[in-house]
Amino acid sequence: MTEIPEARPSPGSSADKATATASPVERHVNAEQAAELLASGKKIVVLDVRTPSEFAQGHLRGAVNVDYRGTAFVDELKKLDRSASYLVHCRSGRRSTAAFAQMLDLGFTSLYHMDGGMIAWQAAGQKVVK
């Protein structure tokens, strides 16, 4: 069992700027930690920011697909519950890193980023659904 890192404010985030005692909002996890988090029973929304065609090729069970490259991406983020906990990922981590930063700027309060994305998830032997 791997340890899930402690939450910490994102450097330069609004939470970091507001006060040193602000609620933590950022956690980076690897694929194994993400799997443990999802199995823990905590209510986590899996946010897959890949394209719909990538999503159709295989995704995490119960994932919500919001295309980072879509023209309405930010509008779709604004519709989400900012107080919910989210595990954000893409194929390799590049798009989800940018999406993660946008979510912090929009005031989301509980975010996990799966470093390495679906590539790392599948390399760790984790299952996907179609």
Helix (H, G, I), strand (E, B) or coil at 67: coil
CA distances from 35 to 40, 60, 121 (A): 9, 10, 8
If one compares 22 and 89, the residue with the highest pLDDT of the two is 89
- How far apart, in whole angstroms, are the C-alpha atoms of residue 87 and residue 92? 14
Cβ 100 vs Cβ 126: under 8 Å: no
- The span from the CA of 100 to the CA of 110, in Å, is 11
Catalytic residue numbers read 90
Contact 85, 60 (CB under 8 A): no
pLDDT of 4 > 90? The answer is no
Listed residue (24, 19, 20, 23) closest to 8, CA to CA: 24
| Domains located in the chain, CATH noted | 14-123 (3.40.250.10)
CB 54 within 8 A of CB 61: no
- Share of residues in the chain with pLDDT > 70 (%): 81
Average pLDDT over residues 47-61: 98
Which pLDDT score is estimated for 25? 65
Token reading at 112: 């996990």
Q: Which residue has the higher pLDDT, 21 or 58?
A: 58
110-114 and 85-89 beta bridge pairing: parallel
